[in-house]
Structure 1
């Protein structure tokens, strides 16, 4: 019986593409955002802060990415999945580094989560759209 497993993780190159694309989409939308890309364990691989983005958005973007990676779901999708169980929703929400509002998306390659992108600094719609751009760029070969 094997005592180890192999897991794929996002490369630094793909993470850099993701954060650059997310921040660029923010510029297109007229918002200064922070984008973070993490690996499957939620560890930071890349982070980019647009000129004028709030300093507080750095940790929020990273937490959104962490949440999406370790749960394998979008941050707001996870919140919606938990909404019918208020005790569980609250219990998950108070965990350190967990964010349950829009802007965090897992990066899925061939059915496997390899990392995630989190974006903060705009509205939830802005953050979601920027995260989508980041995921698309990460997966572009």
Structure 2
């Protein structure tokens, strides 16, 4: 096969994910930095909510980068990156951008292909994880046709 057709995450899709993530953050009483990247790990959309930590901007982007680029949630590395762990030192790769704590999830299509990633930062890793999960869930509802939206 010489070519392959691949679905792309659009700006409209990224906005849907961020809107849902922002809603969840507000419900939790948190201001968050939230980033969505495309399948190539390039920033597609970003939101800095009131009260979000300035130092968390790049962390949110790097969580999305890691989730999309490695096709797994950043929380999956928690136990493997300590000294002696199977992935010890992984956080030093990719120019230090590889993130090994919760708050980043890949955005997948029904075929299991990565469309992008979403990352959030300012809360605890568990709070950040809840926020990005809300973004992924909202976008999945659209992709499954349960919610109408132009993607």
TM-score, structure 2 as length reference: 0.84
Q: Is structure 2 residue 12 aligned with structure 1 residue 16? A: no
Match of 2:106 in 1: 106
Aligned-pair CA distance for 1:41: 1.1
Instruction: Supply the distance in 2 between the matched residues of 1:8 and 1:80 (Cα, whole angstroms).
Output: 33
Find the counterpart in structure 1 of residue 149 from structure 2. none
Match of 1:132 in 2: 133
User: In 2, Cα distance between the equivalents of 1:53 and 1:76?
Assistant: 21
User: Aligned equivalents of 1:40 and 1:81: distance in 2?
Assistant: 25
> How much does 1:19 deviate?
1.2
Residues in 2 aligned to 1:37 and 1:107: alpha-carbon distance in whole angstroms: 9
Is contact 1:23-1:49 (8 Å) kept?
Answer: no
Give, in angstroms, the shift of residue 7 of structure 1: 2.6
1:81 and 1:40, CA in 2 relative to 1: closer, same or farther beyond 3 A? farther
Change (3 A) 1:85 1:43: farther
1: CA distance, partners of 2:125 / 2:86: 24
Per-residue deviation, 1:69: 0.2
Are the counterparts in 1 of residues 63 and 99 from structure 2 also a CA contact under 8 Å? yes
Q: For residue 15 of structure 1, report the CA deviation from its aligned partner.
A: 0.4
Alignment of 1:69-108 (within 5 A): 69-80=68-79, 86=85, 88-90=87-89, 92-95=90-93, 96=95, 97-108=97-108
How many residues in Structure 1 have an aligned counterpart in Structure 2? Answer: 139
TM (norm. structure 1) is 0.89
Superposition RMSD on alpha carbons, in Å?
A: 1.9
Judge conservation of contact 2:34–2:46 (CA < 8 Å) in 1.
yes
Distance 2:115 2:49 in 1: 25
Q: Return structure 1 stretches of 4+ with deviation > 3 angstroms.
A: 78-88
Gaps of 5+ in 2: 143-151
Cα distance, 1:60 vs. partner? 0.5
